[in-house]
């Protein structure tokens, strides 16, 4: 897969280490967490939102498109960027 070349000693060493890690993870699976709520946010911050406001700058899309070198179907037309 990754084409790692390991010696027999390294294979034995890493196999033992991975087995130890997986054994520890298995212990974590046995912990009873039913009394605890999931922690979704730890800083106490809340999401701040605001109402959207429509700003009228006194112009229309058509007026703005008059400044574009090329337009098509109400959009600015540009050269193709990918082949």
Q: Residues 32, 37, 43, 49: what is their CA dihedral angle, to the nearest 10 degrees?
A: 150
pTM score above 0.85: no
pLDDT in tens, 21-68: 999 999 988 899 999 988 888 888 888 888 999 888 899 999 999 999
Rounded CA-CA distance 8/73 in Å is 67
């Amino acid at each position: 897969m990754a084409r790692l070349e390991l010696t027999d000693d390294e294979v034995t060493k890493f196999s033992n280490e991975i087995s130890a890690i997986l054994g520890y993870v298995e212990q974590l699976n046995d912990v009873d967490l039913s009394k605890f709520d999931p922690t979704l946010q730890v800083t106490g911050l809340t999401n701040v939102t605001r109402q959207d406001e429509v700003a009228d700058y006194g112009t229309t899309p058509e007026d703005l498109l008059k400044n574009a070198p090329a337009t098509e179907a109400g959009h600015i037309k540009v050269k193709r960027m990918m082949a």
